[in-house]
Amino acid sequence: MTDGETGRNFITEIIDEHNETGRFNGIVHTRFPPEPNGYLHIGHAASIYLNFGIAERYGGLCNLRFDDTNPAKEEQEYIEAIIEDARWLGYDWDDRLYFASDYFDELYEMAVDLIRIGRAYVDELSPDEIRTYRGTLTKPGKESPFRNRSPEENLRLFEKMRAGGFKEGEAVLRAKIDMTSGNINLRDPVMYRILDAPHPRTGDKWKIYPMYDFAHGQSDSIEGITHSICTLEYEDHRPLYDWYLDNIEIFHPQQIEFARLNVSHTVLSKRKLIRLVQEGYVSGWDDPRMPTISGLRRRGYSPEALREFCENFGVGKVKGVVALHNLEYHLRQHLNKTANRVMAVINPLKVVIENYPDDLVEEMEAVNNPEDASAGTRMAPFSKVLYIERDDFMEDPPRKFFRLAPGREVRLRYAYFITCTDVIKDEDGEVIELRCAYDAATRGGSAPDGRRVKATLHWVSAQHAIKAQARLYNNLFTVEHPDSDREVDFTEFINPDSLTVVDPIYVEPHLQNAQAGERFQFERLAYFVVDQDSTAEKLVFNRTVALRDQWRKQQKKAGKAGRKTQRKAKPAPKP
RNA sequence: AGGGAAGUAGCUCAAUCGGCAGAGCAGGUGCCUUUGGAGCACAAGGUUAAAGGUUCGAGUCCUUUCUUCCCUGCCA
């Protein structure tokens, strides 16, 4: 992150320089160019943020353009999903929604121009032969026997390709550059290939389709893009990007490459994401454990949190992996400010207030969001029989456990102080019920005599609580970098406990009419969102992210320290 | 006969013309609290991949070395 002025990075430096030299007359126009062959994920969110953010920063515009040059892999379904996700993230491209396929006619004419000036030719080598002729990383390639046909013959053959006179694989159009270049992209790259597949937008009008390299720069040029921001793997393509624009002699945007975003404890490659879906490790592209935008949305992430995250992590050329806790930090940050609080008990323990009147029900006023006074208050019913969280009671508590224990007094949030007077167990010795006494003078949660308690517990009234389902999500992978092991398949690292369904949990009746997508904080537990599977009869909540938990952290640390001392007992061999 | 790119705190990034190596997050210690949440304070964290050179002065300039990543699709 930058200190002082935010949002500065190596890209803004390049743009500032362009503005100083007047290369683009002070104009900044970017584009976000997804291929419609899959769903958007958190990495794309970073790219969208970058492209739209840069444009906004310089008072320019950003287009949404689909790079739809390979109909064999692309589908209308993806186009629609990508538009929906990009909108949800909060971006707006007005009427500047474009498709590379919009430019197929112009691209064809550009190819014809290159043929005319002798810089492109139709090659009838087979795919295998082309590969062999290309050479290797350390050996130069050699020229195709078809390389020196006349422009007239090439024109005729290219027209034959367009008209369907060749089958797939029988001919391609190639740029005539340099078969000995150290940069393999310059060894006569393919410009057009024959594809026998209907295109989602142009139908069966075309038999030939431009390659990415022949389409991208010219599409940028046609749209007046000034700064074409892409990921690092295109660094080797920039000389080709430049070559096409220079030889066609049209407006020349600047390609700039940055390191794509990676996040720990997940995978982002399309291939791996598809496997997670197809092999049934998750329920679909929008499974709340997926790093897709639709998955994150269903998990309860907010667009604001995602944007804050993107703003916070810097843009650079260093390939790195951002720790997941960074994302979660911004998520909690936003949810803390916006999510209404509510009480819910996930693992119930019955509490009977013995000195509370049998039939009395009191409505306790509860604050919806201590961070936002405008969120107001609600009423929560209190009665003789309650549920508290099982974890909030220990019969024989360790020294630093502040919650309920035999003989100890704690506060029930927004209600009363209670003291545990008796513990009821079943025949196996399992605690099944607590008997408590309340102090009527502590209504609202404070004692007139000024005495303090060390803990405040959440609770629900047993007879008023609504039963709901909770889906408790954890990281999909148990390790930071599931795809960095060359021998072990990433699926081996899938967390067997990535989803725990708890049914029923008990929630305040206030939640009765909660709608899908509404986010709440279950006090002292976690943030939850109402899932789309929710119905009027059965509410379903997805755990978005747990609250930070000092107690659990302390326990974990104590456990680790124990193991460490054991290990220490064995002297380490000297190096 | 290989080409391209990158190395600064655990992670992500700053450091103006060559001028005292700084932030956020994570981790640590306290404080506070009607969420063990939130918040606040403090401390810690570095041989700037390494070596050599230029210079009054090098993260920055030069040389060499090392490490990591990308490139041999008619994918994008």
- 299-318 of chain A touching strand B, CB 7 A cut-off: 312-318
Q: If you search the block for the tokens 């006569």, which residue do you land on?
A: A188
Give the pLDDT of residue A13. Answer: 87
Strand, coil or helix: what is A107? helix
- Give pLDDT < 70 ranges for chain A: 1-7, 557, 559-575
- Closest-CA residue to A183 (of A143, A237, A123): A237
Residue A453 neighbours by CB distance under 10 Å: 21
State whether the beta carbon of A25 lies below 7 angstroms from any atom of strand B: no
C1' nearest to CA of A257: which nucleotide?
B5
**In contact, A178 and A141? CB cutoff 8 Å:** no
State whether the beta carbon of A113 lies below 7 angstroms from any atom of strand B: no
- Closest-CA residue to A439 (of A417, A422, A420, A424): A417
How far apart, in Å, are the Cα atoms of A396 and each of A22, A245, A429, A457? 75, 76, 14, 18
**In contact, A352 and A369? CB cutoff 8 Å:** no
Closest residue to B14 (CA, C1′):
A2
CA A17, C1' B56: Å apart?
32
Indicate if the alpha-carbon torsion angle A133, A139, A140, A142 is positive or negative: negative
CA A15, C1' B70: Å apart?
25
CA A273, C1' B71: Å apart?
24
Note the Cα A532 to chain centre separation in Å: 19
DSSP secondary structure letters along A176-229: ---TT-SSGGGSS-EEEEE--S-BTTTBTS-SEEE-HHHHHHHHHHHHT-SEEE
CA A312, C1' B57: Å apart?
34
Query: Model confidence over A216-261: pLDDT tens digits?
Result: 999 999 999 999 999 999 999 999 999 999 999 999 999 999 999 9
Q: What six digits make up the tokens of A542?
A: 């997805």
For A66, residues 6+ apart whose C-beta sits below 8 A from its C-beta are A33, A34, A35, A36, A79, A82, A98, A99, A100, A101
C1' nearest to CA of A236: which nucleotide?
B4
Give the pLDDT of residue A82. Answer: 98
State whether the beta carbon of A323 lies below 7 angstroms from any atom of strand B: yes
Residue A203 neighbours by CB distance under 10 Å: 9
Residue A362 neighbours by CB distance under 10 Å: 15
CA A305, C1' B45: Å apart?
28
- Phi-psi domain of A462 (left: phi exceeds 0; alpha: psi -120 through 50; beta: other): alpha
C1' nearest to CA of A413: which nucleotide?
B34
CA A310, C1' B55: Å apart?
41
**In contact, A458 and A344? CB cutoff 8 Å:** yes
State whether the beta carbon of A557 lies below 7 angstroms from any atom of strand B: yes
For A326, residues 6+ apart whose C-beta sits below 8 A from its C-beta are A309, A312, A313
Strand, coil or helix: what is A199? strand
State whether the beta carbon of A232 lies below 7 angstroms from any atom of strand B: yes
State whether the beta carbon of A132 lies below 7 angstroms from any atom of strand B: no
Q: What six digits make up the tokens of A516?
A: 């899908």
- Closest-CA residue to A461 (of A336, A361, A551): A361
ipTM of the complex, rounded to two decimals:
0.93
Q: If you search the block for the tokens 């209504």, which residue do you land on?
A: A443
Strand, coil or helix: what is A528? strand
How many residues would you count in chain A? Answer: 575
In 3-state terms chain A splits into helix, strand, coil percentages (rounded to 5) of 35, 25, 45
Give the pLDDT of residue A4. Answer: 37
- Closest-CA residue to A152 (of A191, A175, A121): A121
- Closest-CA residue to A264 (of A288, A291, A285): A291
Give the pLDDT of residue A256. Answer: 95
Active site residues of A: 35, 260, 270
- Closest-CA residue to A241 (of A260, A221, A266, A263): A221
Protein-contacted positions of strand B (CB under 7 Å): 1-8, 10-15, 22-28, 34-39, 68-76
